[in-house]
Amino acid sequence: MARKILTEHINVPGIETFDVYRKQGGYTAVEKAIKTMTPEEVVEEAKKSGVRGRGGAGFPMGMKWGFLAKPEGVPRYLVCNADESEPGTFKDHHLMKSIPHLLIEGMIISSFALGANKSFIYVRGELMYVIRILEKAIAEAKAQGFLGKNILGSGYDLELVVQPGGGAYICGEETALLESLEGKRGNPRNKPPFPAVKGLYQSPTVVNNVESISNMPWIINNGGDAYAQIGIGRSTGTKLISASGHIQKPGVYEIELGVSVEEFLNSDEYCGGIRKGHHLKALVAGGSSVPILPANLITKTAAGEDRLMTYESLSDGGFATGTMLGSGGFIVFDETACIVRNTWNFSRFYHHESCGQCSPCREGTGWMEKVLHRIEHGHGSMHDIDLLVDISKKIEGNTICPLGDAAAWPVASAIRHFRDEFVWHITNPQEATAPGAVYMGDMALV
């Protein structure tokens, strides 16, 4: 069995309560950090661990902490991004509802490290029941002296606030999240200045994902070096993978980074293989935004090496033949899935979720959705395929925030790897629009 850092105790009955969490060794890391370490030492452990942002960007968390400006007399803020909305991703939802104290313990340690006295957990509004779970856990931790004034007699004060969103994917982008937390529309900000200098209320701010922060208790208890020994190369530690689609056992799994895609997909410890009687056709490894890969490129790289669940291996080959680990939203498609329909579906998502600030994204996402809709519904022309590629290129890199890229990549990659299926929809509209029709061509299935 692989080592578990985040989910070791997740199935212990009553783990959502303070007492049971405490019995499993909970809050010892807070004691260790606050009583025996300086904030700088905590930051140092985070740096040594090499833990990277688990929301999707993969930026080293310790380094991000190192950028935080510390002007005299100005409050600093830590904001946890729990706005999990990337299609295919549901790990933070699972973690927060099952073991809320883990995130709270991580927030206390991280806030202490950054010198924040008021920290926020911004949770997508749809998860109001999770917000209530977190608020209950916060009240318990406060009653036990782990939150509030003079924590454990150290003189350090911290208040945790859980903030609900209002239903907007864009608020997962950190500056949109800060705007939203200030009570505004979720329009991403121009950078610079970065949040580390001017973030919430124009004060220095760090925004970290739920899973990233939840690693901190283990890192403090065991040391950043021990964490860095797990995984391969610059992909250190474990990662929560949200597995969905045509597999035997959808769910959230904690892997050691470096397990092969093949093993993750087929082993009974994880997905348990493609559903019975079916074959792998395509896979989105890191949430809807990352390039979709056909079966033959997901288990092996173009060079024929085993593809591993690491930041580096999944991106091997660049976008020509690779993809990204992203948020770890692992969406599996068997041969019954229609790539054109799915691409249209994802496009509709990005069009719906574009904040409308930048014209390439506002107009481009709508345009792509329209073109994909007509191809899917039997009214496409051959010119539409190149048109889609052209639009995607004109969105990519031309927007304030990465939503534009996130909208462009699924479309560009679907055409790159499944062009025949688009052509088939256009040249055989009657057949393609028949109920349940799926292109069977000569694509490689595994």
| Interface residue with other proteins, options 163, 205, 209, 354 (CB under 8 A) | 163
Between 60 and 329, name the residue whose CB sits nearer to other proteins: 329
Beta bridge partners of 120: 79, 161
Q: Where does this chain touch other proteins (CB under 8 A) — which range of 28-36, 346-354, 375-383, 397-405?
A: 346-354
Q: Distance between CA atoms of 185 and 173, rounded to whole angstroms?
A: 13
Measured from the CB atom, is 33 or 134 closer to other proteins?
134
Minimum CB separation from other proteins for residue 348, in Å?
A: 8
Eight-class DSSP state of 305: P
Find the binder of other proteins among 84, 140, 256, 396 (CB under 8 A).
Answer: 84
C-alpha 263/C-alpha 257 separation (Å) is 12
**Residue 335 in the binding site for other proteins (CB under 8 A):** no
352 binds other proteins (CB under 8 A): yes
Kindly state the tokens that stand for 341: 């329909």
Joined together, the tokens standing for residue 6 give 């985040």
| Residue 326 binds other proteins (CB under 8 A) | no
User: Taking CB under 8 A as the rule, does residue 337 contact other proteins?
Assistant: yes
> Quick one: how far is CA 205 from the chain centroid?
20
Question: Min. distance of Cβ 411 from other proteins in angstroms?
Answer: 13
* Contact positions with other proteins (CB under 8 A) in 98-157: 118, 124-129, 132
> Does 366 sit near other proteins (CB under 8 A)?
no
Query: Distance between CA atoms of 276 and 32, rounded to whole angstroms?
Result: 49
Per-residue burial over 71-105, b if 16 or more Cβ lie within 10 Å, else e, is eeeeebbbbbbbbbbbbbbbbbbbbbebbbbbbbb
Q: Alpha carbon of 77 to those of 114, 181, 315: distances in Å?
A: 8, 12, 33
Task: Indicate whether 16 belongs to the interface with other proteins (CB under 8 A).
Answer: no
Q: Which residues in 252-271 contact other proteins (CB under 8 A)?
A: 252
Residue ranges with strand state E in 246-362: 251-256, 280-284, 293-294, 329-334
Structural tokens at position 221: 């208890």
Site string for other proteins, 30-69 (x = CB under 8 A): ----------------------------------------
Residues within the interface to other proteins (CB under 8 A)? 75, 84-90, 92-93, 118, 124-129, 132, 159, 161, 163-169, 180-186, 201, 242-246, 250-252, 288, 329, 331, 333, 337, 341-342, 345-346, 348-349, 352-353, 355
